[in-house]
Structure 1
């Protein structure tokens, strides 16, 4: 972790690690609505390999794998990734799902322009400073091939839950010890600079009000 709120990041990492250790399958086994959309978008583009950031215990990675994609899943929780690896082996998906410990505040491991698709469900909502958030999106842009796709989903500022979170600095909020950032449309648009913004859609998932965003890294001809 090179920039931003280093101490906050450390505390949040420990909190997520503890949460995954206490509650295996913390987010349930059903895939997110965002990954169902992403699978359609990636499949229509002829993509068969996906980098998932903030994969947790793997519910979305497994959905993608069952649809025929190869998935490289990353998270900063070793407890979550242990669960992911165990489940992948149990389901016979370990030939399609690989996992690596990684904090996205650090540069992404892939080389420039070597990834076809990136997926992230609520990762961008986590406790990033504004500069860390911009750096993360720039890193995703760097590793994607020209024409590569980035699909992400985030909590919206229209989510009623946001009113019950305590406001912190830099647009962050806290609830029950967890820190995050709710997205409005202007932030979605700001992060789409240098991208082609293909689709922005508000939607509900359970009691959450969300944004779903699909972006393409432009090619040389764009």
Structure 2
């Protein structure tokens, strides 16, 4: 990480901590539209556990838990995660939701192939360099089980805020204290290398409105090698 990246990362961490402290539950209790899609996709894939990156105060993590998933919710804001834990206790979901502080610039604190599904709503388009985004998606690839599903959303270069505000380079622009990495389409395609890209869905959200892509991609399951028996070695035969 360069000095400039470290300075921006520290400023964004302080900004989000203050924002959650000043505006508890700032996104409300209703789940985001991408979370509704993700839950259906995860259920269709047979997932039982979900890792959410950038969970904030937890509106989507709590929704996944209400749908019956076991959820590990991570964020780099301890303030946001405390609000999430409090809401989980109040809603009787504490046994289904665990939390952990995670700076996604660092390796994910999970073993290889340990989760069924990963969700990240506008986390990849935070103040991360292109190199850091690639490294993060590699980490998601590592922790997912074969056949696992990854759903993420990002603001893209068709957004009205793109190329305006304070420019930090690498398609990162800052407005009102929030730095955003706006995605060109070729970055989405590059991040899908080694995956099956199931869908890139354009949608709008919030004021302005923000213009985003919702990306769904799957980690391919290994194909059986030709000539291998399809029954267990010690299975009885007639």
Q: Tell me if both proteins adopt one fold, taking TM over 0.5 as the criterion.
A: yes
Instruction: Give me the whole-angstrom Cα distance separating, in 2, the residues matched to 1:170 and 1:160.
Output: 17
Which position in structure 2 is the counterpart of 1:200? 200
Instruction: Give me the whole-angstrom Cα distance separating, in 1, the residues matched to 2:18 and 2:90.
Output: 23
Structure 1 residue 210 and structure 2 residue 212: aligned? yes
For residue 98 of structure 2, give the secondary structure of its aligned residue in structure 1: strand
Gaps (5+ residues) in structure 1? Answer: none
Which position in structure 2 is the counterpart of 1:126? 126
| Contact 2:12-2:178 at 8 Å conserved across structures | yes
Once the two structures are superposed, residues 98-122 of structure 1 have per-residue CA deviations (whole angstroms, 9 ceiling, x without a partner) of 1111111110011111111000000
For residue 107 of structure 1, give the secondary structure of its aligned residue in structure 2: coil
Shift in Å at residue 164 of structure 1? 3.9
Gaps (5+ residues) in structure 2? Answer: 225-238
For residue 72 of structure 2, give the secondary structure of its aligned residue in structure 1: strand
Structure 1 residue 44 and structure 2 residue 37: aligned? no
Shift in Å at residue 211 of structure 1? 0.2
| TM-score, normalised via structure 1 length | 0.95
Higher relative contact order (CA 8 A, sep 6+): 1
Which position in structure 1 is the counterpart of 2:150? 150
Which position in structure 2 is the counterpart of 1:65? 65
| TM-score, normalised via structure 2 length | 0.89
Shift in Å at residue 175 of structure 1? 0.8
Tell me how large the CA RMSD over aligned residues is: 1.3
Instruction: Give me the whole-angstrom Cα distance separating, in 1, the residues matched to 2:136 and 2:154.
Output: 14
Q: Which has the larger radius of gyration?
A: 2
Structure 1 residue 89 and structure 2 residue 89: aligned? yes
Shift in Å at residue 163 of structure 1? 5.2
